Amino acid sequence: MNEQHTGHEHTGWQAEMKVLLREPPLLISITVLFLLFGLFIIYPFIKILMVPDAEHWMRALTAKEFLEVFSHTLFSSLVATTTAIIFGFIFAYAVNYTNMPGKRFFQIVALLPTMAPSVVTGLAFIMLFGRRGFITWHVLHLQTDLYGPVGLWVAQTIAFFPLAYITISGVLKSISPNLELAAQNLGARGWYLFRTVTLRLATPGLASAFLLVGINSLADFGNPMLVGGNYHVLATEAYTQVTGAWDLPMGAVLSVFLVIPTLLVFFVQRYYLEKNSYVTVTGKPVAGLIRVTAGPVATWCFFAFCAVLCAAILMIIGVVFLFAFTVAFGADYTFTLQYFREGVVQSKVLLHSWSASMITAATTTILGIALAFLTIRKHFPGRTVMDFLAMLPVSLPGTFIGLALILAFNEAPLELTGTMAIIILGMTLRQLPVGYRQAVAGLKQIDASMEQASANLGANSFTTFRSIILPMLKNSLSVSFVYAFMRSMNTLSTVIFLVSPEWNLASINIMSLADQGFLPTASATAVGMMLTIYLTFGIVKLILRDKINIFDL
Amino acid sequence: MAECVLQLKGINKYFGKNHVIKNVDLSIEKGEFVTFLGPSGCGKTTLLRMVAGFYEPDEGEILLNGKRIEKIPPYGRNTAMVFQEYALFPHMSVFDNIAYGLRVKKTPAAEMEKKVAAALELMQLRGMEKRFPNQLSGGQQQRVAVARALVMDPEVLLLDEPLSNLDAKLRESVRVELREIQQRMGLSTIYVTHDQSEALSMSDKIVVLKDGIIHQVGTAQEIYFEPKTPFVADFIGTTNLLKLTGSGDGEVRYGNIRIPVSRSVSAGVVYHASIRPECIKLAEKPVEGMVHVPVHIENRMFLGEKVRYFVRDNNGKSWIVDMFDPGRDLLEGDVYTVFPAAKVWIIGEAEE
């Protein structure tokens, strides 16, 4: 961290410790946070490593079935990530670099899938292209079977395209338009300009986006479960081992293997890509200058591409709605509310999902700001460890977190299995990095001199925090609240091991209903979920009266 | 009459409802160093960007060597620009940054290397060609940005406040250097700045802009000594703006003080006039053949080479008077401002 931000001139942990001992409240909160981290992050992860014995590890590394699962996982996520990134890049480029009509519409449609669990893509895929799929069976009269790698590839590409688009759009926006203007000024244009400037500047960001999407598709659980068929990947295999074969240690081994690549990605990103980013050395963009670099022909090609992609997304959302509100879509088109009643009104799952996600969002937001304040503004021994632990869960697949938690907390004194608490705990762990990263980004934008000014005018640390920092962070806090809420609502892999018959969640219910063939009810639940997310956004927006716009990316 | 490189004819530009450039006409001769000077928001940068092709004028023509270019995209103009923030490509070495435009033009490798080497030499960047922009100081980055534009051998070199990110000392030396290179190469140059001392010290011609209107075009001396609008008089340097009433037969009055002027004035008409602080002296007694205004000294500042006095006359008008080579004796109390009538510059009729 930056030395000059704190105004302290002490260095070395002994000096830092001395400062800390003079501020008991600070010392206490740091200690409490470390204890929480120890109990809820470090302990479960040690536990999950201790449960399997040598024989399990050997079997996972030698048995043919598991080796096949490894290669499936790597292969399927690699191809899906590649296509999702290519689609996302073209889309983001079209939105940021052309004058094509309907940009706003495209932007909104592209983000629609993020408001629903990624498994909805799989659900729609079954309904459209499955054995009795609307298009394959009813329209084309084909007897195809797209379950397996191809189906998984298509479903995951669509499911992870929005994430790729959001990330890459952020990367493109961070490129100073001045650089492209300078290149144009020197005579460069079209493909040459793109190749020598835009693409080169975006490369580190693209690599980051690739890794991010890669982690997500690697750890994806719902789509492989629904459309993967017999094509097993690590996440689904771990689940099958635990729930089908009752082989908990084997499940643990597999989920640990799932962590290895994601941890690797985490380290690459943290210690290599961020240091090699060009974004920080470019000047501030000039207001009012809109970069338009694509010619008319290219613009219409981009338009066609975006239109096709958006049509696919709308078809997915549309088919979910149609299945939810007709008696038997494809055969009987009579309107009905029966499924909606079954899946939403009479079911408690949505309420469970909503309350767990709200609690998670509040917790991670508050925890995130507290952690960020400590790591950015205070010097204390173990600061980098705290920063590392707060970011670590971002690289941990949900199945791993879930499994680690049930292994760690299934006996007294901390018997949490089968409770709402363990669900919230899992969600909170998973979302903590989101809240933390937002708060860090927000805090870094607030100059430390403002806090010093407040202190100089006689305010103590607490007053400064409440009256200066919190109001200035309002926007980034509401963003992290909303994202944590949305992602908790939609998560499947984190909670798959944590739910119980008593405390079931909507995302899980959609998947199991779809898996058992109750497609209309699954669709109705998905519709209910999307509506719940939209409504909650609306309410949060009204309460906070902020200007954040989730579609404004 | 020298050859005209660039002509702007009847340029108008709107940003939404804002009329940011109003009927601008201007011509720039070959080898001329022209400065667009004005406060922020005056339209100087907008005008420059229109020449570069980043904006298209809503009305009017831009002619480069007699050819209309306002529809030609930026990459087809050869109007290399030095950006305020330099806009160096962070992923390219100094060499590659400078060579970028030549590579676009598909310049043969040997010629390209020669040109880049010459530019490196000229900008005193030799030995730095392998470094990256983030390994350079602000001053060095600025040199690379200039070199990158110079190798293009532009029809018009455009400079957008290129010195504003340098510290004061460096700014002054770079100023001299830039002007020297420009004169040696005979480059037609447009320089945008809000810093009047940069404009006065470097330019062949200064274009003073405010609110999208050209207030005056002229040499440094012309805009300093013969401002055409009160804004120009006030914006360039420090001045005392007076309102004088014409009394016919080559005389104006300030209150009941008569000031003879060389231009013709109409009786009863109110004129804006300007007199520079350094043209005025303070004296305890009236001096023969000079204009005198009795004043009271309200405040003073010792600035080393001069003392700046803030005085007020009987009409309640405050004046600024600079006394050079002041020695240790400071004036106080009631005195006269004393100046030759010829130093009073009549700007024009006051609109009332």
Shared domain check, A93 and A37: no
Higher-confidence residue: A509 or A14?
A509
Q: Which region, left, alpha or beta, applies to residue B6 given φ > 0 means left and ψ of -120 to 50 means alpha?
A: beta
Element (H, E) at A104: helix A103-111
Q: Which region, left, alpha or beta, applies to residue B116 given φ > 0 means left and ψ of -120 to 50 means alpha?
A: alpha
State residue A5's pLDDT score.
43
Does some domain include residue A384?
yes
DSSP A288-345: TPPP----HHHHHHHHHHHHHHHHHHHHHHHHHHHHHHEEETTTEEEE--HHHIIIII
Tokens of B1: 């009459």
Q: What is the DSSP letter of A279?
A: G
Tokens 């933390």 -> residue: A436
Nearest CA in chain A to B134: A281
Shared domain check, A212 and A74: yes
User: For A184, which of B75, B88, B134 is closest by C-beta distance?
Assistant: B75
Separation CA B4–CA B15 (nearest Å): 29
- pLDDT band, very low/low/confident/very high, at A278 (cuts 50, 70, 90): low
Q: Give the CB-side neighbour count of residue B249, counting CA atoms within 13 A.
A: 1
| pLDDT tens per residue across span B101-154 | 999 989 999 999 999 999 999 888 989 989 998 889 888 999 999 999 999 999
State residue B28's pLDDT score.
93
Contacts of A126 (CB under 8 A, 6+ apart): A133, A226, A227, A514, A519
Does some domain include residue A308?
yes
Q: Could you give the domains of chain B?
A: 4-234 (3.40.50.300), 238-349 (2.40.50.140)
Q: Residues, chain A, total?
A: 553
- Which of A 177-216 lie inside 8 A of B, CB atoms? 178-179, 181-189, 192-193, 196-197, 200-201
**Chain center to CA of A389:** 18
Separation CA A35–CA A236 (nearest Å): 33
Whether residue B8 lies within 8 A of chain A, CB to CB, comes out as no
Min Cα separation A176/chain B (Å):
8
Does some domain include residue A549?
no
Three-state secondary structure of chain B = CCCEEEEEEEEEEEECCEEEEEEEEEEEECCCEEEEECCCCCCHHHHHHHHHCCCCCCEEEEEECCEECCCCCHHHCCCCEECCCCCCCCCCCHHHHHHHHHHHCCCCHHHHHHHHHHHHHHCCCCCCCCCCHHHCCHHHHHHHHHHHHHCCCCCCEEEECCCCCCCHHHHHHHHHHHHHHHHHHCCCEEEEECCHHHHHHHCCEEEEEECCEEEEEECHHHHHHCCCCHHHHHHCCCCEEEEEEECCCCEEEECCEEEECCCCCCCCCEEEEEECHHHCEEECCCCCCCEEEEEEEEEEEECCCEEEEEEEECCCCEEEEEEECCCCCCCCCEEEEEECHHHCEEEEECCC
**Cα-based angle B82, B85, B86 (whole degrees, multiple of 5):** 40
State residue A273's pLDDT score.
65
| pLDDT tens per residue across span A223-254 | 898 888 888 898 889 888 888 888 888 989 98
Residue B78 and residue A187: Cβ atoms within 8 Å? yes
As for how many domains chain A has, the answer is 2
Separation CA A220–CA A264 (nearest Å): 17
Per-residue pLDDT for A9 more than 80? Answer: no
pLDDT average, residue stretch A124-140: 80
Shared domain check, A387 and A256: no
DSSP A428-473: HHHHHHHHHHHHHHHHHHS-HHHHHHHHHTT--HHHHIIIIIHHHH
Shared domain check, A79 and A41: no
Could you tell me the strand order of the sheet in which B291-302 lies? B281-283, B334-339, B291-302, B306-313, B318-324
- Which of A 273-292 lie inside 8 A of B, CB atoms? 278, 281-284, 288-289
Query: Is-contact B219 B37, C-beta < 8 A?
Result: no
Tokens of A543: 């309460």
Mean confidence (pLDDT) of chain B: 90
Contacts of A469 (CB under 8 A, 6+ apart): A373, A443, A446, A451
pTM score: 0.82
State residue A435's pLDDT score.
87
Q: Which residues pair with B190 in a beta bridge?
A: B34, B158
Shared domain check, A197 and A66: yes
Shared domain check, A174 and A62: yes
State residue A543's pLDDT score.
77
Query: Is-contact A459 A467, C-beta < 8 A?
Result: yes
Does some domain include residue A515?
no
Shared domain check, A111 and A218: yes
Shared domain check, A175 and A132: yes
Does some domain include residue A491?
yes
How close are the terminal C-alpha atoms of chain B, in Å? 40
Higher-confidence residue: A459 or A152?
A152
- pLDDT band, very low/low/confident/very high, at B2 (cuts 50, 70, 90): low
Could you tell me the strand order of the sheet in which B345-349 lies? B257-260, B251-254, B240-246, B270-275, B345-349
Residue A185 and residue B80: Cβ atoms within 8 Å? yes
Nearest to A224 by CA among A135, A131, A160: A160
Per-residue pLDDT for A281 more than 80? Answer: no
Residue A178 and residue B85: Cβ atoms within 8 Å? yes
Pair type for strands B291-302 and B334-339: antiparallel
**Chain center to CA of A340:** 28
Tokens of A200: 């080169």
Per-residue pLDDT for A81 more than 90? Answer: yes
Tokens of B198: 């940069």
Give, in order, the Cα–Cα distances in Å from B196 to each of A181, B87, B280: 27, 25, 22
Residue B91 and residue A281: Cβ atoms within 8 Å? no
- pLDDT band, very low/low/confident/very high, at A546 (cuts 50, 70, 90): low
Residue B73 and residue A184: Cβ atoms within 8 Å? yes
Does some domain include residue A517?
no
> Last residue of a domain, which of A465, A483, A503?
A503
Amino acid at A351: L
Q: What phi and psi, each to the nearest 5 degrees, are found at residue A100?
A: -60, 150
Shared domain check, A405 and A259: no
Query: Is-contact A493 A402, C-beta < 8 A?
Result: yes
Residue A288 and residue B15: Cβ atoms within 8 Å? yes
Shared domain check, A435 and A327: no
**Chain center to CA of B29:** 17
| pLDDT tens per residue across span B192-230 | 999 988 999 999 999 999 999 999 999 999 999 899 999
b/e burial code for range A204-213 (CB count within 10 A of at least 16 → b): bbbbbbbbbb
Pair type for strands B205-210 and B189-193: unpaired
User: What is the dihedral sign for C-alpha A536, A538, A541, A544?
Assistant: negative
Query: Is-contact A122 A173, C-beta < 8 A?
Result: no
Residue B90 and residue A281: Cβ atoms within 8 Å? yes
Highest mean pLDDT among A204-218, A348-362, A430-444, B328-342: A348-362
B-chain residues within 8 Å CB-CB of A188? 75, 100-101, 104
**Cα-based angle A212, A216, A218 (whole degrees, multiple of 5):** 115
Per-residue pLDDT for A309 more than 90? Answer: yes
Query: Is-contact A440 A376, C-beta < 8 A?
Result: yes
List the single range of A225-229, A442-446, B18-22 with lowest mean pLDDT: A442-446
Nearest CA in chain A to B158: A185
b/e burial code for range A278-295 (CB count within 10 A of at least 16 → b): bbeebeebbeeeebebbe
Residue B104 and residue A188: Cβ atoms within 8 Å? yes
| pLDDT tens per residue across span A356-410 | 999 999 999 999 988 988 888 777 788 888 888 888 888 888 889 999 998 888 8
Could you tell me the strand order of the sheet in which B213-218 lies? B81-82, B157-160, B189-193, B33-37, B205-210, B213-218
Does some domain include residue A552?
no
Tokens 């590409």 -> residue: A157
Whether residue B91 lies within 8 A of chain A, CB to CB, comes out as yes
Per-residue pLDDT for A287 more than 90? Answer: no
Three-state secondary structure of A156-182 = HHHHHHHHHHHHHHHHHHHCCHHHHHH
The enclosing domain of A446 has a CATH number of 1.10.3720.10
How close are the terminal C-alpha atoms of chain A, in Å? 29
State residue A283's pLDDT score.
42
Helix A103-111 / helix A296-325 crossing angle, nearest 10 deg: 40
Separation CA A309–CA B170 (nearest Å): 54
Amino acid at A530: M
| pLDDT tens per residue across span B66-112 | 899 988 888 888 899 998 888 889 889 999 999 999 999 899 999 99
Whether residue B73 lies within 8 A of chain A, CB to CB, comes out as yes
Whether residue B138 lies within 8 A of chain A, CB to CB, comes out as no
Residue A183 and residue B133: Cβ atoms within 8 Å? no
Shared domain check, A447 and A496: yes
Tokens of B295: 């004043």
Shared domain check, A383 and A326: no
Tokens 């063939």 -> residue: A517
Separation CA B329–CA A11 (nearest Å): 55
Coil/strand/helix, residue A38 = helix
Residue A189 and residue B75: Cβ atoms within 8 Å? yes
Highest mean pLDDT among A72-81, A109-118, B69-78, B171-180: A72-81
Q: What domain range is A458 assigned to?
A: 1-50+347-503
Neighbours of B184 (CB within 10 A): 9
State residue B318's pLDDT score.
93
State residue A1's pLDDT score.
36
Per-residue pLDDT for A452 more than 80? Answer: no
State residue A410's pLDDT score.
83
Separation CA A479–CA A434 (nearest Å): 10
Separation CA A219–CA A265 (nearest Å): 13
Q: Residues, chain B, total?
A: 352
DSSP A355-395: HHHHHHHHHHHHHHHHHHHHHHH---TTHHHHHHHHHGGGG
- pLDDT band, very low/low/confident/very high, at A552 (cuts 50, 70, 90): very low
Tokens of A324: 């939810």
Does some domain include residue A525?
no
> Last residue of a domain, which of A312, A336, A360?
A336
| pLDDT tens per residue across span A213-223 | 888 888 888 88
